[in-house]
Amino acid sequence: MLNQLQNLGDIPTYAAERFGDKTALIFQEKTFTFRDLDELTNRLAQSLRKMGVNPGERVSIYSNNSWEWVVSYYAISKLGGVINPINVMLKPEEVRFVVQDCGAKAIILPGDKAGAIREATSGVSGLEYIISYEDVGGGVLPFQDLLNRGSPEPMRSSAGPGDMSTIGYTSGTTGHPKGAALTHRSVLVNACMTANMHMKTSHDRVVSALPCAHVYGNVVMHGELALGGTLILLPRFTEHDALEAIQKYRATVFEGVPTMYLYLLSYPDLDKYDLSSLTRCTVGGQTMSVDKMIEVEKRFKCPLLELWGMTEIAGLGTTHPYYGKNKLGSIGVALPYTEVKIADREDASKTLKPGEIGELMIRGPIVMMGYWGNEEATRETIEEGGWLHTGDVCHMDEEGYVYVVDRKKDLIITAGYNIYPAEIERVVLKHEKVAICAVGKEPDEFKGELAKAFVVLKPGETATEEEILSFCREHLANYKVPKGVYFVDDVPKTSTGKIMRRKLAELLQPPGSLKLS
């Protein structure tokens, strides 16, 4: 299949030729065949081209899961554009940064976000069009009008496998996100090899509430549509909706993050649903306890295949083969065409032996081109030999299965979402009463980890926890808002004045208000 797909825009056409009127996508009772998706993407691509969106130009998508998201993604690729999928949980000022940084020419979004984004992106150079799923007026273009005006004539991009396909932004260690530039080859190889490892076929029916804008959800979308299966896409996760969809559509696969499974295991009506159609489930985004994984397999009566990935590799890097050994507690083995190694944390050129603990590094066609407009960060992340630093501390057994010992040093993973302390600190420090802010993490049974803010107030100032949290809610995506504020006299620092985040837990005290003299 990889030989027949030159770019991501080829997927709808390739699938339509092979699977025609078979159901490709189900979203909120609305059904689309493979032929429908091919025609809709042609129409939108033709309209965008007439508007002046040219090959190589960036188009952002800022939306929850929807059929419009899927159509927009492939349409942008069909016209040769570069897709910029934006996490829908980002706030307008964060969206402004992303759109401005990548130089987007247009942004596609739902009507309820159009007004705020129009205001937030006012004055952003190069952004010419805001396109809304609903007709909201005010100079925002209606999505449906573009579909109606666009020709159904086939449109195919001349982009090759090595050309840039997407720019996906990750939370930034410096407080600002970085755009991982990925080729068409990166995304296609990842999607196809993931499908290969999980033995996906045209007979599969996959239920997914994973955000399409996230690389995990993105890989699921490509694999299912390219192979002729049916994707049952949920707008968001709820226990009821996921179980109803599995039962109603006789799903063969459910894909999720640990938090979803933990909520499902605790759902009082779980055993009332018929889940017998499931043949396997996948889990990724953060590590999951072996005890809980065993419980999932027992109650869902199918294997649970763990995986690991990151934005910089277009999705997965390791996973378990459906027909191979499933070692619970491991993140699996490298995808085909991909290499992984455990390197010495002080000398990346030194590969460690099985059982030794070091940094997980990865190399192969799935690795990003680099960070958009940030050569320094690219050089720090990718070695000359093509090995990508993941920052994850792991070890490997004799059979090549990888085990995560600890996540990236400062990274906080909440329900599968990456949060960097510096990003929260940057916002909290804008508060007029705050002198110092350091953000640490605390384990949580359901979400994995929670961010905690340790705040030193300016002399003579008083503040409450809610005051700081309210300020954060105005400037950060909800998942990034710390789950507690601790007022302290000082934070632990090194001799050079650098905050020692690993020692923040020693300062834990009940959240509250404190006045500093």
- DSSP conformation letters of 203-250: T-EEEE-S-TTSHHHHHHHHHHHHHT-EEEE-SS--HHHHHHHHHHHT
pLDDT at 513: 46
Residue 336: partners with Cβ closer than 8 Å, 6 or more residues away: 193, 196, 197
Query: How many angstroms separate the CA atoms of 354 and 375, rounded?
Result: 33
Give SS3 for 409: coil
Whether the CB-CB separation of 88 and 213 falls below 8 Å is answered with yes
Burial class for 292, CB neighbours closer than 10 Å (0-12, 13-18, 19+): middle
| Residue carrying the six token digits 């759902």 | 267
Burial class for 148, CB neighbours closer than 10 Å (0-12, 13-18, 19+): exposed
Whether the CB-CB separation of 225 and 56 falls below 8 Å is answered with no
- The order of strands in the sheet holding 339-343 is 339-343, 358-363, 388-396, 402-406
pLDDT at 517: 29
pLDDT at 494: 59
pLDDT at 510: 53
- Degrees (nearest 5) of the Cα angle 345, 348, 354? 70
Express each pLDDT in 14-65 by its tens digit: 999 999 999 999 999 899 999 999 999 999 999 999 999 999 999 999 999 9
Q: What is the pTM of this model?
A: 0.87
Reading phi first (left if > 0) and then psi (alpha if -120 to 50, else beta), residue 138 is in left
Whether the CB-CB separation of 258 and 281 falls below 8 Å is answered with no
What's the DSSP call for residue 499?
B
Query: How many angstroms separate the CA atoms of 46 and 454, rounded?
Result: 52
Nearest to 234 by CA among 460, 496, 28: 28
55 alpha-carbon distance from chain centroid: 25
Residue 170: partners with Cβ closer than 8 Å, 6 or more residues away: 177, 178, 180, 310, 311, 312, 418
pLDDT by residue, tens only, the chain of 517 residues: 778 999 999 999 999 999 999 999 999 989 999 999 999 999 999 999 999 999 999 999 999 999 999 999 999 999 999 999 999 989 999 999 999 999 999 999 999 999 999 999 999 999 999 999 999 999 999 999 999 999 999 999 999 999 999 999 987 655 678 999 999 999 999 999 999 999 999 999 999 999 999 999 999 999 999 999 999 999 999 999 999 999 999 999 999 998 899 889 989 999 999 999 999 999 998 878 888 899 999 999 999 999 999 999 999 999 999 999 999 999 999 999 999 999 998 899 999 999 999 999 999 999 999 999 999 999 999 998 999 999 998 999 999 999 998 766 778 889 888 888 878 988 998 899 998 898 999 888 888 899 999 999 988 999 999 999 999 999 999 999 999 999 999 888 754 456 788 788 888 655 554 433 2
Give SS3 for 485: strand
Domains and CATH numbers, the chain: 2-395 (3.40.50.12780), 420-507 (3.30.300.30)
Q: How far is CA 5 from CA 38, 188, 190, 399, in A?
A: 15, 8, 13, 32
Express each pLDDT in 74-93 by its tens digit: 999 999 999 999 999 899 99
Residue 72: partners with Cβ closer than 8 Å, 6 or more residues away: 44, 59, 61, 63, 108
pLDDT at 514: 44
Across the strands, what pairs with 126? none
- CB under 8 Å, gap of 24 or more: what pairs does 292-297 form? 292/258, 292/261, 292/262, 292/265, 293/328, 293/329, 294/328, 295/265, 296/261, 296/264, 296/265
436 alpha-carbon distance from chain centroid: 30
pLDDT at 446: 87
- State the greatest distance between any 2 C-alpha atoms of the chain, in Å, as a whole number: 73
Whether the CB-CB separation of 116 and 129 falls below 8 Å is answered with no
Residue 266: partners with Cβ closer than 8 Å, 6 or more residues away: none
pLDDT at 503: 85
For 91-146, strand residue ranges (E) read 104-109, 129-132, 141-142
H/E element, 125: none
What's the DSSP call for residue 384?
T
Residue 152: partners with Cβ closer than 8 Å, 6 or more residues away: 39, 42, 43
What's the DSSP call for residue 173?
T
Whether the CB-CB separation of 307 and 282 falls below 8 Å is answered with yes
Q: Count of alpha carbons within 13 Å of 162, Cβ hemisphere only?
A: 0
What's the DSSP call for residue 115?
H
Is the alpha carbon torsion for 472, 475, 477, 480 positive or negative? negative
